[in-house]
Chain A
Amino acid sequence: MNEAPRQGSSARPGAGERLFGRAVPRLEDAPLLTGRGRFVDDVQLPGLLAVAFVRSPFAHARIRAIDCEGARGMPGVAAILTADDLSPLLTSGVVAGAMPSAAIRHEVYRPVLARDEVAYAGEAVALVVAVTRHQAEDAAEAVLVDYEPLPAVADGRAALAPAAPAVHARLPDNLLATFDFHYGEVDAAFESAAHVVRAEFDLHRGGGHSMEGRGVVAAPDPLEDRLRVWSSTQTPHALKAALCTLLGRGEDDIFVSVPDLGGGFGPKLVTYPEEIAVAAVAAHLARPLKWIEDRQEHFLVSTQERDQHWRMEMALEADGRIAGISGALTYDIGAYTARGLNVPYASGMMLTLPYNVPSYRLDIAVALTNKAPATPVRGAGQPQATFVMERLLDLAAAELGLDRAEIRARNLVRAEQMPCRKPLKLRGGTDLVLDSGDYPATQSAALEQAGWAGFAARKDEARAEGRAIGLGLANYVEGTGRGPYETVTVRVTRQGRIRVSTGATAMGQGLQTAMMQIVADHLGADPANIDIHLGDTAEPYGFGGFNSRQTVVAGASADAAARAVRHKVLSVAAHKLGVEARALDIAGDLVVETGGGNRSLTLAEVAVAAQGIAGFRLPGIDTPGLQATERVVIDDMAYSNGCAVAEVEVDRATGGVRVTRLAFAHDCGVMVNPAMVEGQLMGGIALGLGNALFERMAYDEAGQPLTTTYADYLLVTSAEMPEVAVSHTESPTYLNALGVKGVGESGVIPMAAAIASAIDDALDDLGVRVLHAPISPQELRAAIRAAGGGAR
């Protein structure tokens, strides 16, 4: 079982008790537990019509003609639109991807609806509006699309071969981009190395699979001539910007809100063609429309992560210190770019981070394929990089006859090196600086918890009983808190309530609670008196949820805004009471005297006073109102770190792997709410376990998706979860006033690497090496058989 959270319990704190840093209960829970959550599919409006999309059954085809006539006459059908019908409603036919890059050779943005050619199975070619979803889907099936199938390519390396079929008929080749990371004297390091280890790795990651799919509701408001949009998105500001651009509307003409999000995990950070199409058609028809992605659509068209092929070598000194790392990465990005080169960039940049690596060169080739576009899924390229680095270290340990933990200890960045500047640049061009943490101590904590030292004896005993158990470890660093900022406005209303609004967007991680905890201690510390509004696009400047950033960047702004408002509250109250501001404090919804006096004012009274009276000076403040908006700018990222030690048992006859125990030691800086941190870790760990052993989004050679149900694509259930022992260390970062770092992706990053290491250990008598993920029982059994082991 998990270790109890370090601080406190979830007992409700009394008003006035400090909230920051405690495992307080979440503000989000009560409505969600009683069926009063409001997810996008819960939005009901008078006259709401349902949308379904006509999607390509081919991975690559030319569209010769689309015949909607028969479908238009079907019951309930209100409209059917193709790309040609949509074109007059939009300023452009494509959704420009975020994150442009000079390295990109071909512009391949996603069409809102495909016009002449489809480049992956599931791509939308027409939109059907009907009274009910049943009717919309019936009509979508009756739309006749005349496709001319074209050759497709579904593998990144195959796509780069000279005679490969073109992913897009108009492009000369499928090479989307090449770029590299390079520092130090790599060639010299390999020439003079005492040891060199080499390996190739095939790493696959599947989809995000939030339990709630995507969805959008768009409702024209004829009174105000505005368009209201509710979308299950992690980035409402980006959606609003795209809608304003593509629909040719002003910033005040479109209003985007984010209802409760049933999980995000990355794919929902992308702005999608469906969101644009539904909004445009709603405005065109002057009718509210709703489209809710079903699970099959999530498999087909929600962005996913994808295959990475790595060919790598590591040079080492005789004592096990790393001299250099060199190699190449081929990345399969699918048919279009929706988030630039983010994932392969993150993979290349994160590879070496936990260790001192004097020289490094990685050549990256990004291939287009006839598959759904790939963008970050929780972890965003970092789990793959960690797998490669940690497996190379295991190979090196074997080569040198060193303990796997010892070779890491000799190479980890040490506490006294912090802050540690790396010869690498963030994607915005700033230097990469590891801010804080004691990586060797974190590794030691995990080893201790896992019983690393005594494991050899346990393993021998088990082997004598015919059981193959193994222990494996992996270190990671997670880049968190991507800047530059998030806006937060804190205001005390005339009713004396504290209102916090921000573009930061909840995906289910408890962000309301975290924001409340950060603000509350400055303003009376009463959770019941605080209202949090997230995903607010009335504020023009904001980003949303990705890169484990929100508690860091929105937290910093919330802290600053709450301090500023506190100062105003005390100034006005001091003026009213005729005392010094420092003789006052805020307790619950009262401003009270602290030094002997017992007078008080309610926050409501102070707020009313602060708005001013016509003809009079403001009371003790220069600007009216108890409000502050802050956008604390943080350019550098804060790096969380940790170490996972996994114990597995391998069934040599079947190749089945059971992860039996996991020790997870980590450091994400100061924790706002330890129970929520642990929740983030555990969810990430479950996903990482899936990436290691179960989750494979399979396509056949022609680009046909093979896994489009949860019977084929396996998510981890409670039955597969091991016992997990988490240990927390808090090394504050100097990058923000709270000392917090992100933790949203930590759990997932080291899992596949640690499990692969443990499988190797369990099979070390056979010399089996796990160099890809996920690894299925069939594959492992084959490897065991090839190594001469396993029952017939």
Chain B
Amino acid sequence: MSGSWTTIESDPGVFTQLIKEMGVEGILVEEIYDLSEEFLETLKPVYGLIFLFNWVHNDAAVDMNAINKMFFAKQKVNNACATQAILGILLNRKEIKLGAELESFKEITKDLDPTMKGIAIGENDHIRKVHNSFKTQEPFESDERMATSKDDVFHFISYVPVNGSLMEIDGLKEGPVNHGECTEENWLSKVKPVIEKRIAQYQTSEIRFNLMAVTKDPLEGYQKEMKEISQKIHELEKDESKIAELEAAKMDKQDILDKIHMHEAKLNRYSVENARRRHNWFPLIIELLKVLAKNGKLEPAIKESQEKTKKRKEA
């Protein structure tokens, strides 16, 4: 293995930025809290789902015939499993513009078996660098020591429609699990019971899980809608008999504007959080402590903390 992979946080903002920095445009990763038709409808088009949980589950038979017709990689690098789950979706959807690096990767690995594909992911400098960039290089951070971090032992499964079948990609299996025929229109309703079954299994225990959708970034769609509604308003304004329709159109335009603002706010929040993830906080911590020291606040804070710590231990 040419380089090591750090653990990264499983967060939609991290994944969205990770995908962008790997060279793929127009993708937004969203967290799914609700599997209802209404909610899933708002996320469409969905390219794939990533289901993560802190347990290893082995059941269903695999479809060994499908292996040659899709990108399926076995998990060879533990810390890379989040990125690997993402690649399992990106590299199996023809609609997605992968960018130069991933196109090249897909091409180079297309005839490799699942094990070699997994190794190829581990060896890819570009992917590894982007993945590792989500962890700061602080002078005191240590992967081994922070084994209590919630994301270290998560297992990842991708669900993606490939060649008319709903495929489950689990890097710890020998091949994909085929959940049957599906179309672009109905695959989400077909995957819903599959996921619900898994969630039901974990609901009664200590297992934690999370579900994310790899979707088409809606901004381009919103901008198109804005153009169309503005055009419609322009036309309606010319006709004095169409007041009600004009008002309705204006309300629609406001709805779209609201969606655009919410989208902007979401991307902004992702951006702020990612900047904080990548930031080396050590200099700020030291400067803060110096400030407290200069202003006589440090010693009282020490004493207060010693008291608190004692109380916590007694509790």
Q: A and B: partners? A: no
Give residues in A with beta carbon < 8 Å to B.
none
Give residues in B with beta carbon < 8 Å to A.
none
